[in-house]
Amino acid sequence: MPESAQRDPAVPILPDVQYYSEAPGRVNLLGEHVDYNGGAVLPMAINRSVRIEAKVDKNGTCRIDAIDLGKSVEFSLDSIESKTDKNGKPLPSWALYPAGVAWVLNNEGYCVKGIHAAFGSSVPVGAGLSSSAAVEVAFAALWQVVGDWKANPLELAILCQRAENQYVGVNCGLMDQFASACGVEGSAVWFDTRSHESNAVKLPENTVVVVADTGVRRGLVSSAYNDRRASCEEALRHFQGAIPGIMTLREVSIDEFNRFSAGLAEIPLKRSRYIVHECARMDTALDVLSRSDAVAFGTLMNECHAGLRDDYEVSCVELDAMAETAWKLAGCYGSRLTGAGFGGCTVSLVERAEVGGFVVGLRAGYQDRTGRNAEVYICEAVRGARAGLNSH
């Protein structure tokens, strides 16, 4: 789904709409790539979302219209097991996300009714703002209200993660689906991916979150995302030999990493070094934010970018150019790539009084360095997914 303008929710996409759902994208402020290593993360649901309008299909078929793509697909609960449409043709890649949600809900015993649904998005695709998770969560919330069954937002997020892992084939952690389902208006959310504990966290006073899109795109399935996870698992097995009882890289301290990392091959060494230090940064972040210390939090963001660039190796020329440009601008406390990497967006924490000049300077500086134009968004923290009967 290419990016589209935010739709007026009062204007139906479908005639005779019965139901709607909406799920936001997210930006992660700190704790990148640690959600599949047991770490804590700090996402924020943002004011860009996927919106679905739907009506029940009495024949039990699911027809999904991707408005931004101008494409449609029809499948049944029988056909999705083989990832095919009702005519036996392979599902297009965009349709794997709603079909995967239907598949996992059906397998878990939830009522999945046939629907005719149309959806559009204002979350840029492939930009690291979790457009795929927003699609998954929006469809899960929709089928929940259509089927009249109960699940809390965290349960919906876990089901959607399972769909992406087992059906789509991306071995992602839980952060993206959690943020889309459980976002808190006006706050970021500290989320412990090991215990599933979460708390709303206010950002430093008089600051604004700014997201800048490099325009460079990557596909998660075809990228090196799964390779990074495999390297972390290899490193974990190494440390388990030296530190009995640990289950995740989060449990390895910086001191233990320095003591026991000898013998690791170069790639798992670098990947795990980043994870261990990023988990330590997350431990520091809560204290920093409790003091509303924008300077200290910005430093953590900058250190995160350096680690993602040098040890996790998921940055690119354009992401580095965007972050480095931001670092030199007045009012910027910190800036780093956000999301899986290999392209997409940066996130910056900016002094509110300087945000206008920052946006202008960031666009100009990025264009000078790369020849590319940047889309820049001033983001607000919004609530997680919602769904219900259409009121129009």
By C-alpha distance, which of 309, 322, 315 is closest to 218? 315
* Long-range contacts of the stretch 145-153 (C-beta < 8 A, 24+): 145/19, 145/21, 145/387, 145/388, 145/389, 146/19, 146/54, 146/56, 146/113, 146/115, 147/110, 147/111, 147/112, 147/113, 148/111, 149/110, 149/111, 151/110, 153/181, 153/182, 153/384, 153/385
Strands 207-213 and 345-351: antiparallel
Q: Please tell me which residue in 176, 213, 311, 320 is annotated as part of the active site.
A: 176
Measured in degrees and rounded to the nearest 5, phi and psi for residue 115 equal: -140, 155
Task: Please answer whether residues 255 and 379 qualify as being in contact, where contact means their C-beta atoms are separated by less than 8 angstroms.
Answer: no
Helix (H) or strand (E) segment spanning residue 73 = strand 71-75
320 is catalytic: no
15 Cβ contact list (under 8 Å, min separation 6):
none
Cα–Cα distances in Å, from 390 out to 11, 180, 318? 11, 21, 42
Query: Catalytic residue positions?
Result: 176
